[in-house]
Chains A and B, each alone.
Chain A
C-alpha cells in the first residue's frame, strides 16, 4: 500500500481564530485533514481518521471545563469536492464543551460534505456549538447522526452566518431513558444564500426530553427550508418533545418553507410544534423611535432581540458574547464591504 499523502500546510499568518477563548484547546482540520493529533492525559484524544476527518474520544468520567475548538478550513490547496466523516464519542459520565467552526481561506467554490457521528454514553453531558462562516460562494452539507444513551445530555447550537448553500441534517436517536437533547439553531441569510435544516428526532424509550428552537432572519432573495420531525415510538411514554421554527423576513423576495411534523405512537406524552414567519414589528419599531433611536438602529435592535433566545442558550459566556458580536456585525452588514474576501473576519 502506498503512503497516503497528507496535505499539511502551515496555517497562514493572516488567518486567526475569530473566537479566541481563554483556555481553549485548538485543532485545525485542513481540507478535511487533521493537522496535529491532540492528546490530553486522562481526558481526551483527538486523532486523524485514516483517510480524512477526525476521531474524538472523550474518556469516561473526564470533565473538561475548557472548550475544544476544531477549526475546519478549506483553502486552494484542494478545491475538489470533499466528503469526510468524523466521529465524536463521549464516555460515561464525562462532561465536555466542543466548538466546531467552518471557514474558507480562498474564494474557490468549495463543496464540502461532512458527517458527524456523535455518540453519548450513559450520563455524559455535552455542549456543542457549530459556527458556520464560509464565503458566499461555497457550499457545505453537514450530516449529524446523534445517539444518546441513558441519562445523557446534549445541547447543540448551530450558528450559520455565511455560506452560499448550507445544509444541516440532524438525526437524533434517544435510546436510553432520561436522555435530554436540545437543538438550537440560528441562520442569518441574505443575497442569494440558501439554508436547509432538517431534524429527525426519534424518541425510542420513555422519559426522554427533546427540544428544538431554530430561528432565522432572511433578507434579499435568500431562502430557508426547515423540515423537522418528532417521532415518538409506542414505548416512549412520558416523552416531552418540543419544536419551534421562527423566521423574520426582511424583504418581499426572501422565502421560507417550514414543515414541522409530529408522529406520535405513544399515548402519554407532551409534544408541541410550531412554525411562524413574520416581518419586523411596526409597533416595536415605533416604540424605539419614540425614544429617539433612528429607524436603522431600531430595526437592528429588533433583529438582535429576535435572535436573543437562541444565543442565550450558549453556556460559555465568553463564547456567547463573541458570537453575539459576530451576529451583530453580520446584521449590521459590516461584511458587505468585503464581499470579495473569503475571510468573513470582523
Chain B
C-alpha cells in the first residue's frame, strides 16, 4: 500500500528526515516510536502533505500514485488520514458542517452525489457511537473548548467518518487519561479491517497495549534505527532508547 524509499525532508534549511525506508501492506499496523525530536511528527506531516516541510530526496509510492505529487486534499480523497497531535480549533464552523463539507468533497472526487441530510445524520450517529461521543458535540465549533481527550476522540471520530485506507495517528495518546485512551484505542480497533492500514506514532508502549502492532520501528535523528515485531515496543519500555542509539 505504502512504499517509502530514501525519504529526506527539511524545514527552514534544517534536515529532519535523513533517509527513511519502510513499507506498509494492507491489514498491517505499524508503530513508530522514538524520543522527542527524532522526526516522528515530521514524517507524518510529510506523508499527509504539509508543505511547510521540503522533501529533498526519496520517493513515496501510495497505491498507484506518487504520493509526493499530490496536494493534501487529494491525498485525503485517496484515503490518507492524519490524526493530529494538536488538533486545530475552528470557531464558528460546527463539527457537523465541517464533516459534511469533508465527506461531500471526498464523494465529489469519487463521482458520488452528496449524502442526503438523513444519510449524513445516520452516519454521524453511528460514528459518534464508535468513540462514545455525546451528540451535543456535533453542533459545537470544531475542537473549540474541547478538552485534550475530547479533541483526540474527535480525531478518531473524523477518521471513522472518512473511512481511510491508510490512517496515520500522530501521538494520539498524548495527554489522554486511561479512560480516554481506552475509548480511542477501541475506536481504532473497531475500524481495523484487512483492507486498511495504520501507522501509530507514539512515545510510549502504553497505547500499544490496546492497539497491538504488527511491526515496530524506532526512529532516531531522522533515521529508522531498528525495526522488529511488537516485542520491540516492550523492550523500549523497559530499557529506554539508549541501548539502540548507542548500540
Are A and B physically bound partners? yes
Chain A interface (Cβ < 8 Å from any Cβ of B)? 281-284, 286-295, 297-298, 301-302, 304-305, 307-309, 311-312
Chain A positions within 8 Å of B75 at CB level: 290
Are A304 and B92 interface neighbours, CB within 8 A? yes
Are A287 and B101 interface neighbours, CB within 8 A? no
Q: How far is the CA of A191 from the CA of B72 in the complex (A)?
A: 30
Q: Is B4 an interface residue (CB 8 A)?
A: no
Chain B positions within 8 Å of A305 at CB level: 90-93, 141
Q: Which of B49, B72, B90 interacts with A301 by CB under 8 Å?
A: B90
Are B93 and A291 interface neighbours, CB within 8 A? no
- Closest B residue to A289 by beta carbon equals B72
B interface, size bucket: 20 to 34
When each residue 151-186 of chain B gets 1 if its CB lies under 8 Å from chain A and 0 otherwise, what string results? 000000010001000000000000000000000000
Q: Which of A289, A301, A311 interacts with B71 by CB under 8 Å?
A: A289
- Closest B residue to A298 by beta carbon equals B73
Chain B positions within 8 Å of A302 at CB level: 90
Chain A positions within 8 Å of B77 at CB level: 292
Are B76 and A290 interface neighbours, CB within 8 A? yes
Given known contacts A290-B82, A292-B105, A308 and B49 CB-to-CB distance under 8 angstroms: no
Q: Is B220 an interface residue (CB 8 A)?
A: no
Given known contacts A282-B52, A286-B72, A291 and B90 CB-to-CB distance under 8 angstroms: no
Chain B positions within 8 Å of A292 at CB level: 73, 76-77, 102-103, 105-106, 109, 162
Are B84 and A287 interface neighbours, CB within 8 A? yes
Q: How far is the CA of A110 from the CA of B90 in the complex (A)?
A: 39
Are B88 and A308 interface neighbours, CB within 8 A? no
Q: How far is the CA of A148 from the CA of B59 in the complex (A)?
A: 67
Q: How far is the CA of A309 from the CA of B50 in the complex (A)?
A: 28
Chain B, range 48-78, C-beta contacts under 8 Å to A: 48-52, 71-73, 75-77
Q: Which of A290, A297, A309 interacts with B72 by CB under 8 Å?
A: A290
Tell me how many residue pairs across A and B have CB atoms closer than 8 Å.
82
Chain B positions within 8 Å of A304 at CB level: 92-93
Q: Is B81 an interface residue (CB 8 A)?
A: yes
Q: Which of B91, B109, B141, B162 interacts with A291 by CB under 8 Å?
A: B162
Are A290 and B48 interface neighbours, CB within 8 A? yes
Chain A positions within 8 Å of B76 at CB level: 289-292
Q: Is B22 an interface residue (CB 8 A)?
A: no
Q: State how many angstroms separate the Cβ of A83 from the closest Cβ of chain B.
A: 38
Are A308 and B92 interface neighbours, CB within 8 A? yes
Are B105 and A294 interface neighbours, CB within 8 A? yes
Q: Which of B71, B84, B98, B102 interacts with A295 by CB under 8 Å?
A: B71
Are B88 and A291 interface neighbours, CB within 8 A? no
Closest CB pairs A-B (n = 6): A308-B92, A292-B76, A289-B72, A287-B88, A291-B102, A284-B88
Chain B interface (Cβ < 8 Å from any Cβ of A)? 45, 48-52, 71-73, 75-77, 80-82, 84, 87-88, 90-93, 98, 101-103, 105-106, 109, 141, 158, 162
- Closest A residue to B81 by beta carbon equals A290
Known: A290-B50, A293-B73. 14 other contacts (CB 8 A): A281-B88, A282-B52, A284-B88, A286-B48, A286-B51, A289-B49, A290-B81, A290-B84, A291-B76, A292-B106, A301-B90, A302-B90, A305-B91, A308-B92
Q: How far is the CA of A225 from the CA of B205 in the complex (A)?
A: 54
Chain A positions within 8 Å of B98 at CB level: 288, 291, 301
Chain B positions within 8 Å of A312 at CB level: 92
Q: How far is the CA of A281 from the CA of B105 in the complex (A)?
A: 21
Q: State how many angstroms separate the Cβ of A278 from the closest Cβ of chain B.
A: 15
Are B49 and A290 interface neighbours, CB within 8 A? yes
Q: How far is the CA of A290 from the CA of B73 in the complex (A)?
A: 5
Q: How far is the CA of A312 from the CA of B101 in the complex (A)?
A: 22
Q: State how many angstroms separate the Cβ of A276 from the closest Cβ of chain B.
A: 16
Q: How far is the CA of A287 from the CA of B142 in the complex (A)?
A: 11
Given known contacts A286-B50, A286-B52, A289-B49, A294 and B73 CB-to-CB distance under 8 angstroms: yes
Chain A positions within 8 Å of B92 at CB level: 304-305, 307-309, 311-312
Q: How far is the CA of A290 from the CA of B169 in the complex (A)?
A: 13
Q: How far is the CA of A28 from the CA of B128 in the complex (A)?
A: 50
Given known contacts A297-B101, A305-B90, A291 and B158 CB-to-CB distance under 8 angstroms: yes
Chain B positions within 8 Å of A288 at CB level: 88, 90, 98
- Closest B residue to A297 by beta carbon equals B101
Q: How far is the CA of A302 from the CA of B90 in the complex (A)?
A: 7
Q: State how many angstroms separate the Cβ of A302 from the closest Cβ of chain B.
A: 7
Chain A positions within 8 Å of B73 at CB level: 289-290, 292-295, 298
What are 11 A-B pairs at a CB distance below 8 A? A286-B48, A286-B51, A288-B88, A289-B73, A292-B76, A292-B77, A292-B109, A293-B102, A294-B73, A294-B105, A305-B91
Q: How far is the CA of A33 from the CA of B98 in the complex (A)?
A: 46
Q: How far is the CA of A289 from the CA of B105 in the complex (A)?
A: 10
Q: Which of A281, A287, A295 interacts with B87 by CB under 8 Å?
A: A287
Q: How far is the CA of A295 from the CA of B49 in the complex (A)?
A: 12
Q: How far is the CA of A308 from the CA of B73 in the complex (A)?
A: 25
Chain A positions within 8 Å of B51 at CB level: 286
Q: State how many angstroms separate the Cβ of A222 from the closest Cβ of chain B.
A: 22
Chain A positions within 8 Å of B45 at CB level: 286
Q: State how many angstroms separate the Cβ of B74 from the closest Cβ of chain A.
A: 9
Interface centre among B45, B73, B162 (most CB of A within 10 A): B73
Interface centre among B50, B51, B77 (most CB of A within 10 A): B50
- Closest A residue to B161 by beta carbon equals A291
Chain A positions within 8 Å of B101 at CB level: 293, 297, 301
